[in-house]
Structure 1
Amino acid sequence: MATKKTTTAKPRAKATTASAAKDREHLGTGGELHQLAGVDSPALTTAHGHPVEDDNNSLRAGDRGPTLLSDHVLREKIFHFDHERIPERVVHARGYGAHGVFENYESLSDLTRASVFATAGKKTETFVRFSTVAGNLGSFDLARDVRGFATKFYTDEGNWDLVGNNIPVFFIQDAVKFPDLVHSVKEEPDRGFPQAQSAHDTFWDFASLMPESTHMTLWQMSDRAIPRSFRMMQGFGVHTFRFLDAAGASTFVKFHWTPVLGMQSVVWNEAVKINGADPDFHRRDLFDAITAGDFPQWELGVQVFDDAFADEFDFDVLDATKIIPEELVPVRPVGMMTLNRVVDNVFAEIEQVAFMTQNVPPGIDFSNDPLLQGRNFSYLDTQLKRLGSTNFSQLPVNAPRCPVAHFQRDGHMQTSTQPGRAAYEPNSFTGADRGPREVGPEGHVPFPAPVEGVTRRVRSESFADHYSQARQFWISQTDVEQDHIVDAYVFELGKCDVLAIRQRMVANLRNVDETLATRIADGLRMRLPDPSPAAAPLVETEPSAALSILANAKETFEGRKLGVLVGDGATAAAVSRLTKGVEKAGGTVDVIAVAVGGATLSDGSTLEADHAVAGAPSVLFDAVAVVTGPDGGSALADEPAARDFLTDAFTHFKVIGLAGDTDALVAAAGLDGKLDDACLPVGTAAEGKAFVARLAGPRKWDRSLTA
């Protein structure tokens, strides 16, 4: 075998034309030349920088002999491949994230010494990871599930991890029940399914036996659990934290993220079909928005209250199954987060990012919430298991942006070289001007909360009311949202084979609302059971408008997408007007045709399509329009996917635009005589303008689907 020669002792950066020719000669005409470094390509190397001669053949003894153990290139390549997957998260495995920046509105020095809130206009780098909870890494995006909303602030006093969800309450009150909760909702161990679903016996068995879960299940069965987009869902810190000012004075605080685009969800039938058409719907939406320069934004708000309020409040502020109604403690906006950069590598950033609730800078501290206290232990333990080393904080996505100084040394995956003779504190070698030293009150000083009482395993009686806030959530929903909650309970409990589980859950719900329980029992065709015993009497609560998505709907089409199904013979002007109008309103337009090659317009030109209709059902769009000509209308009517496109849009209460000869398609879709005032003509300029204006409004929730 010929040996390649080099003219320098340094590894080559690029192959010369002559050496490339030798490579071709070496491999022969059948060689895979795309693997070779050409004039403009860097040389392939091992992980340690050694140039690789041949990456297509292992080192053998003879042409057909055994592979040799001395082939270090092969061994390194296979070794890395064998270990390129780290253990996935036990929960929140299915996630996606992006980089951004948080800009503070005004100084909060009256509340906290945290530097992130120190001055008006201060900017702090962030990284956010959104996720589902129950599903594995390969599950789908639109599961009915809680969504994780975890934000890492790279502050100049260390990382702050605000590890929250898109729902402000949780299933349990004490972290000791977390393994039981997760085991119940995961796939059942004797059969390995269902995946990414709570609609099965073990979850509802657990929930029905743990009445403290009732409030959370109301949220879970609501439209909050099937958001339209990460960009259109709220986020919450869930727990009660503390702010500490420069003097050490404490106030309680709860954190809220509010999307600038407003809240929006899909209906369940849409979610099911989206999962089939595009299981990556949420991550694709976030990626597309950021790369298009349509940067998502959330406003951070805080609810701040003192011990006097906490003592007078009807519920315990340390109970993670409860909220503080915004009518009692308004949310104060404090800053804006903008996600403006996608990741360069999903594994290095989204998968290796490590969030830990105990990561708080000076000025932010913990309360005695028992669920939060348990999370503070669990998250560190989890990262050690997943990332394999105590040095995971040196990974770029986890590394603080501020100076780091400590005497921690060595360990697996240590990447920094730490000089000096002493690796302990105190010592007499580093000197006051060299080694790290304690900073006293300038460091993270925890709030000196008094602690008293005997040590025992007990749940405070102040945590005993499991139904009052669940009732408040129910009565705060619009009629449409209540219908969706009932349908969700009926669907999920209908997946339970054990009758006693269904009965026990409905018995619990009788303590929330008689109408709710009765409607669910009727949907399951079961006898209404007696109410289960309640541990505490119901507290009368007022409806809270802040708890409803529809009551807080934003009149806008910004950040949304219109799908325009174009048939042959359509006029270019009609499509162009719709596109310009929607884009002016802040939305986007995708063109759909029978084939991705597009449609032939009335002037003989071809309008290329973004999608073929068979691969772009209407569930992928916030609203739809059909624009066609005389011949194209009949052709669309003959296409099953086109018929489904229109039928589903109508069934999902969407606004629909129609232009050209669409009668045949409307009839074929079974919608003759059913079109309503949300099915609008878009053929003229005035009609197109009126249609775009209507897109900013709500869906046609009162649409009759049976007439």
Structure 2
Amino acid sequence: MSSDRKKLTTGWGAPVGDNQNSQTAGARGPTLIQDVHLLEKLAHFNRERVPERVVHAKGAGAHGYFEVTQDLTAYTKASLFAEVGKRTPLFVRFSTVAGESGSADTVRDPRGFAVKFYTDEGNYDLVGNNTPVFFIRDAIKFPDFIHTQKRHPQTHLKNPNAIWDFWSLSPESLHQVTILMSDRGIPATYRHMHGFGSHTFKWVNAEGKAVWVKYHFKTEQGVQNLSPSLAAQLAAENPDYHTEDLFNAIESGDFPAWKVCVQIMPLEDANTYRFDPFDVTKVWSQKDYPLIEVGRMVLDRNPDNYFAEVEQATFSPGTLVPGIEPSPDKMLQGRLFAYSDAHRYRVGANHHALPINRPHSEVNTYQRDGQMRPDSNGGGSVYYEPNSFGGPAESPADKPAPLDVTGQADSVAYDHNDHYTQAGDLYRLLSEEERERLVQTIVAAMKPVERDEIKIRQIGHFYKADPEYGTRIAEGLGLPVPQ
């Protein structure tokens, strides 16, 4: 070995004398269990894959920054929005939703759009999608919905019967189904799609005054989409097309950017708006609540190691900072628990202490121990609270703002059940060419469904959104329009 090369070592730092040949009992004898370097290599290899994400398993990520361009401190005291020109480092992970980690990038699927802001008051995660709405609006339905997107337990094949049966029995899905089956169902790249926080959140300013808010990330590259035929070709020829595109763009200095905007709603409007503002299957009209620019997101650095950064990155909508709080959105409320719990299972109880997830600000907790603790574990400092030894103490000024609640504890649905107006409005906004492609896509997706009653039930939803919408799909499937 040349003198300028570092010595190969074991995981515990001992030099390795031979990395090409196992220790054996004689030249042809059995391998010796005393070859601890061999055992370590094989044992580590067996454990090199953490369980893949149940959803959003296939993805790509990049580092960048958020820069404030407009002063919105009248609405939030969150430090990342503190002053025009302030930059906050961040990490973004884009992903598909339903497929496994080895699936193709160019499938028809929503795209995850998760942003981790490393603010000076702790991390803030905005865990959204490339669509402003979702298929369901209550977290209690989420496991069932995702089951329909996965493989049949007997055939291990994707199951159109389950997909369309669930959607046809969940009319709140119609808005998102229409977006998914439209041209925007297959983005050209991760760079050429918008991002959305999707949920409603609460912003609180320094005086304690609150508003409701929705996030929009508008791509500066322009929205571009793939035709189904090109997407299928790319899936066969380069299933990692989006991953490769993002990496190569950043590597060549073509840094993708998004203008970050918000919609702001006064708290009292939530009681009178024509749609429930906490229902994630609905949007707020931009005529009612215009987009307000707040900043700009730029991605300018690729990960050095995919596993350490992209695969081990963990995001949760419950990772909040002072000035940003949840809303009563039933889907969001479930995600506040489910995402962090998934990370504790998949990566470990100390996932937040890994370099990619560790806040850039100081962390002072009484959390101790657990698998794979990567830091000093608190050393010999006080490990409980309250204490009289000067340990970290609560700061009452950072308590969340109060929210009025009332009513009986019960399993209650949303009051508003108009699942058709916004889907119909979207259909009517499309050009004739876009409508034709939408109908063709839906017809092709529904043809494999074996039971006509499922198809007819779903056609009824399309018809309620717009009679032409339902009629064209019924004609494409050779079925009657429900009366």
TM-score range, shorter chain: over 0.9
Matched position secondary structure for 2:335: helix
Cα deviations by residue, 1:159-187 (Å, 9 ceiling, x for unpaired): 00000000000111100000000001111
Partner of 1:338: 298
1:312 Cα deviation from its structure 2 partner: 2.7
Alignment of 1:226 with 2:200, yes or no, is no
Corresponding residue to 1:513 among 466, 479, 482: 466
Corresponding residue to 1:446 among 400, 407, 432: 400
Corresponding residue to 1:313 among 244, 264, 273: 273
Partner of 1:422: 382
Partner of 1:42: 6
Q: What one-letter code is carried by the residue in structure 2 that aligns with 1:408? A: Q
Matched position secondary structure for 2:464: coil
Partner of 1:402: 361
Distance 2:307 2:380 in 1: 34
Cα deviations by residue, 1:289-316 (Å, 9 ceiling, x for unpaired): 1001000000110000113332332100
Distance 2:367 2:273 in 1: 44
Query: Gaps (5+ residues) in structure 1?
Result: 1-36, 531-707
Distance 1:42 1:390 in 2: 33
Distance 1:308 1:377 in 2: 27
Question: Is the CA contact (8 Å cut-off) linking 2:349 and 2:370 kept in structure 1?
Answer: yes
Distance 2:267 2:366 in 1: 39
Partner of 1:645: none
Partner of 2:418: 465
Matched position secondary structure for 1:284: helix
Cα deviations by residue, 1:85-113 (Å, 9 ceiling, x for unpaired): 00000000010010001111133210000
Matched position secondary structure for 2:436: helix
Q: What one-letter code is carried by the residue in structure 2 that aligns with 1:236? A: F
Partner of 1:501: 454
Report percent identity of matched pairs. Answer: 45
The size of the alignment, in residue pairs, is 482
Q: Which moved more, 1:332-341 or 1:402-411?
A: 402-411
Distance 1:279 1:368 in 2: 39
Distance 1:232 1:102 in 2: 18
Distance 2:224 2:269 in 1: 32
Distance 2:56 2:363 in 1: 29
Corresponding residue to 2:444 among 491, 495, 498: 491
Distance 1:419 1:399 in 2: 18
Match runs of 1:502-541 below 5 Å: 502-530=455-483
Distance 1:374 1:448 in 2: 20
Q: TM-score, normalised by structure 2?
A: 0.98
Matched position secondary structure for 2:465: coil
Question: Is the CA contact (8 Å cut-off) linking 2:194 and 2:219 kept in structure 1?
Answer: yes
Distance 2:70 2:474 in 1: 51
Matched position secondary structure for 1:500: helix
Question: Is the CA contact (8 Å cut-off) linking 2:193 and 2:223 kept in structure 1?
Answer: yes
Query: Gaps (5+ residues) in structure 2?
Result: none
Match runs of 1:481-630 below 5 Å: 481-530=434-483
Corresponding residue to 2:154 among 179, 190, 201: 190
Match runs of 1:245-256 below 5 Å: 245-256=205-216
Q: Which has the higher contact order (CA 8 A, sep 6+)?
A: 2
Distance 2:19 2:381 in 1: 44
Distance 2:75 2:382 in 1: 40
Partner of 1:114: 78
Cα deviations by residue, 1:117-164 (Å, 9 ceiling, x for unpaired): 001100000100000001000000110000000000000001000000
Distance 1:184 1:345 in 2: 33
Partner of 1:286: 246
Q: What one-letter code is carried by the residue in structure 2 that aligns with 1:307? A: L
Cα deviations by residue, 1:560-584 (Å, 9 ceiling, x for unpaired): xxxxxxxxxxxxxxxxxxxxxxxxx
Distance 2:208 2:436 in 1: 48
Q: TM-score, normalised by structure 1?
A: 0.67
Matched position secondary structure for 1:461: coil
Distance 1:210 1:261 in 2: 35
Cα deviations by residue, 1:423-460 (Å, 9 ceiling, x for unpaired): 1112123x3xxx2121220x2x2221112211111103
1:70 Cα deviation from its structure 2 partner: 1.5
Q: What one-letter code is carried by the residue in structure 2 that aligns with 1:454? A: Q
Cα deviations by residue, 1:190-213 (Å, 9 ceiling, x for unpaired): 21112xxxx711100100011111
Corresponding residue to 1:81 among 45, 50, 71: 45
1:529 Cα deviation from its structure 2 partner: 2.3
Distance 2:18 2:225 in 1: 53
Matched position secondary structure for 1:230: coil
Distance 1:440 1:156 in 2: 18
Distance 1:290 1:506 in 2: 44
Alignment of 1:390 with 2:361, yes or no, is no
1:40 Cα deviation from its structure 2 partner: 3.4
Partner of 2:132: 168
Q: What one-letter code is carried by the residue in structure 2 that aligns with 1:439? A: S
Matched position secondary structure for 1:229: coil
Distance 1:415 1:352 in 2: 13
Cα deviations by residue, 1:642-684 (Å, 9 ceiling, x for unpaired): xxxxxxxxxxxxxxxxxxxxxxxxxxxxxxxxxxxxxxxxxxx
Q: What one-letter code is carried by the residue in structure 2 that aligns with 1:69? A: I
Corresponding residue to 2:109 among 145, 154, 169: 145
Match runs of 1:206-221 below 5 Å: 206-221=166-181
Cα deviations by residue, 1:442-491 (Å, 9 ceiling, x for unpaired): x2x222111221111110322x1111111111111122211121111111
Match runs of 1:634-653 below 5 Å: none
Distance 2:452 2:179 in 1: 23
Partner of 2:431: 478
Q: What one-letter code is carried by the residue in structure 2 that aligns with 1:484? A: R
Q: What one-letter code is carried by the residue in structure 2 that aligns with 1:485? A: L
1:419 Cα deviation from its structure 2 partner: 2.6
Partner of 2:56: 92
Match runs of 1:62-77 below 5 Å: 62-77=26-41
Q: What one-letter code is carried by the residue in structure 2 that aligns with 1:152? A: K
Q: Which moved more, 1:416-425 or 1:285-294?
A: 416-425
Distance 2:423 2:310 in 1: 34
1:421 Cα deviation from its structure 2 partner: 4.9
Partner of 2:66: 102
Cα deviations by residue, 1:619-650 (Å, 9 ceiling, x for unpaired): xxxxxxxxxxxxxxxxxxxxxxxxxxxxxxxx
Q: What one-letter code is carried by the residue in structure 1 that aligns with 2:239? A: P
1:38 Cα deviation from its structure 2 partner: 2.6
Distance 1:480 1:264 in 2: 16
Q: What one-letter code is carried by the residue in structure 1 that aligns with 2:403? A: A
Distance 2:130 2:304 in 1: 26
Distance 1:475 1:38 in 2: 70
Distance 2:237 2:384 in 1: 58
Distance 1:489 1:355 in 2: 32
Alignment of 1:53 with 2:13, yes or no, is no
Distance 2:185 2:356 in 1: 28
Alignment of 1:378 with 2:342, yes or no, is no
Distance 1:107 1:437 in 2: 31
Distance 1:317 1:421 in 2: 46
Cα deviations by residue, 1:487-533 (Å, 9 ceiling, x for unpaired): 11111101212222111111121101111111111111222222xxx
The structure whose Rg is larger is: 1
Runs of 4+ in 1 over 4 A off after TM superposition: none
Q: CA RMSD in A?
A: 1.2
Question: Is the CA contact (8 Å cut-off) linking 2:70 and 2:293 kept in structure 1?
Answer: no
